[in-house]
């Protein structure tokens, strides 16, 4: 029988003690927090009024004043609708999948196509859209793009590596094992530096690859190593009898993998895949070390050169934390919305 609210909160001495402690902490901390965040806060973008508060109340006016720069970075102001639409496309695809509005076959295309559309929209150079160099891309669209495009590129590569590590060819297994162990043995920031300064040495003379694409290559290769281990664990959990049954029904090996094994694996490891996507979503903040200004980088640029608003960095970072929390919650919801095996 489902426990009642009283049993959950005070059904035994431990629950009663924890309930009293939580209520006491809320009574102690919530009133001053509410006064600072809401009652005594300044919401208008008035730096003088915020300074007069003396930090007794929050200055949410810094968010109102710097929102465009934080969210859209250095993108040309007269073209702001383009990064806004690009971010909306990616966020809408995540929301549609998380809410279960799409049939199962449409989930992967819905997650893979919006980043391509966002790249075309941000870059421009066609249909009357002015070309905008990638060094001016930033803010929320860049964070969403790196996450969505990174996962869209890393997942098929990770699946291929997972199957390759189960191959009967020892050379192939050894090479892929070395790649996975190398990628998992270095931090992402090191991979970004390699992509920035070492990767150009491998391109032919006269071939220059933009920094954004080099960073995206590093992200895809880095994430694919982790995803391959997730998929490989799912493959090992499939009972061999399913392949025997598929062969008895006339399925070839790769047909059985495509129609029977892989769908089960992806459903089973969906929470782990979402966890990797959440980690990547937060790790995109590291691209600031190679001069790509996503959300955190745009915020730093917005406040570093403005002494008038710089003292109110706490409120700006809290706004950024709320955006990251919303994105992580949406990605987590995608995994919980995935259909489970019967």
Distance of CA 100 to the CA centre of its chain: 19
User: What pTM was computed for the model?
Assistant: 0.90
Note the pLDDT of residue 320.
95
Residues 289-316, mean pLDDT to the nearest whole number: 91
CA atoms of 208 and 179, how far apart (whole Å):
25
In this predicted structure, the answer to whether residue 297 has a pLDDT above a threshold of 90 is yes
Average pLDDT over residues 199-213: 82
User: How much of the chain exceeds pLDDT 90, in percent?
Assistant: 65
pLDDT, greater one: 207 or 73: 73
Q: How far apart are CA 338 and CA 334, in angstroms?
A: 7
The single residue listed with the structure tokens 């995540």 is 94
Strand partners for 293: 138
Taking 90 as the threshold, does the pLDDT of residue 239 lie above it? no
Angle, helices 313-337/139-164, rounded to nearest 10 degrees: 40
Residue range 43-66, pLDDT digits in tens? 999 999 999 988 899 999 999 999
Measured CA to CA, the distance from residue 260 to residue 248 in angstroms comes to 13
75-97 pLDDT, tens per residue? 999 999 999 999 999 999 999 99
Q: Centre a 10 Å sphere on the Cβ of residue 250 and count the other Cβ atoms it contains.
A: 7
| CATH class of the domain at 61-238+270-337 | mainly alpha
Domain ranges across the chain: 61-238+270-337
Q: SS3 of 138, please?
A: strand
Residue (of 166, 260, 259, 183) closest to 221 by Cα position? 183
How far, in Å, CA of 98 to CA of 239, rounded? Answer: 29
Q: What sign for the dihedral angle of Cα 68, 74, 76, 82? A: negative
Least confident of 133-137, 195-199, 229-233, 335-339: 335-339
Q: How confident is the model at residue 338 (pLDDT cuts 50, 70, 90)?
A: low
pLDDT band of 341, cuts 50, 70, 90: very low
Check residue 305 and give its pLDDT: 80
- Is the Cβ–Cβ distance between 120 and 126 less than 8 Å? yes
How far apart CA 261 and CA 233 sit, in angstroms, is 13
- Predicted pLDDT of residue 342: 40
**Mean residue pLDDT across the chain:** 90
- Cβ within 8 Å of residue 55, ≥6 positions away: 311
Most distant CA pair in the chain, distance: 79
Nearest CA-CA partner of 294 in 70, 87, 150, 139: 139
Distance, in Å, from the CA atom of 229 to the CA atom of 324, rounded to the nearest integer, reads: 26
pLDDT > 70 fraction of the chain, expressed in percent and rounded: 96
Tell me the pLDDT tens digit for each residue of 124-180: 999 889 999 999 999 999 999 999 999 999 999 999 999 999 988 999 999 999 999
Range with the lowest mean pLDDT among 3-7, 94-98, 119-123? 3-7
Query: What's the burial of 243, exposed, middle or buried (CB within 10 Å: 0-12/13-18/19+)?
Result: middle
| d(C-alpha 61, C-alpha 308), whole Å | 12
Q: Which residue has the higher pLDDT, 17 or 132?
A: 132
Distance (Å, whole) CA 149 – CA 162? 20
């Amino acid at each position: 029988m489902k426990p009642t609210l009283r049993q959950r909160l005070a059904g035994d001495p431990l629950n009663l003690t924890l309930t009293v402690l939580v209520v006491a902490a809320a009574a102690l901390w919530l009133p001053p927090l509410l006064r600072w965040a809401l009652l005594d806060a300044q919401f208008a973008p008035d730096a003088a009024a915020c300074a007069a508060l003396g930090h007794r109340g929050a200055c949410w006016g810094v968010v109102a004043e710097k929102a465009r720069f934080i969210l859209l970075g250095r993108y040309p102001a007269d073209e702001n609708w383009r990064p806004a639409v690009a971010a909306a496309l990616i966020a809408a695809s995540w929301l549609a999948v998380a809410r279960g509005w799409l049939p199962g076959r449409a989930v992967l295309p819905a997650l893979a196509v919006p980043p391509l559309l966002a790249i075309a929209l941000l870059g421009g150079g066609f249909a009357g859209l002015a070309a905008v160099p990638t060094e001016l891309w930033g803010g929320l669209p860049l964070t969403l793009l790196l996450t969505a495009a990174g996962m869209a590129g890393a997942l098929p590569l990770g699946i291929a590596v997972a199957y390759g590590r189960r191959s009967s060819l020892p050379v192939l297994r050894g090479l892929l094992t070395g790649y996975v162990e190398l990628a998992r043995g270095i931090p992402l920031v090191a991979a970004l530096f390699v992509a920035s300064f070492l990767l150009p040495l491998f391109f032919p003379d006269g071939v220059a690859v933009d920094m954004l694409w080099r960073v995206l290559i590093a992200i895809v290769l880095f994430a694919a190593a982790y995803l391959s281990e997730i998929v490989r664990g799912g493959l090992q959990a499939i009972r061999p009898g399913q392949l025997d049954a598929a062969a008895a029904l006339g399925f070839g090996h790769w047909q059985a993998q495509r129609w029977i094994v892989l769908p089960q694996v992806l459903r089973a490891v969906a929470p782990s895949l979402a966890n990797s996507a959440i980690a990547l979503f937060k790790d995109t903040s590291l691209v600031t070390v190679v001069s790509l200004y996503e959300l955190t980088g745009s915020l730093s640029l917005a406040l570093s050169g403005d002494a008038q608003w710089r003292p109110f960095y706490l409120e700006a970072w809290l706004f950024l934390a709320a955006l990251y929390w919303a994105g992580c919650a949406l990605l987590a919801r995608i995994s919980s919305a995935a259909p489970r095996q019967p």
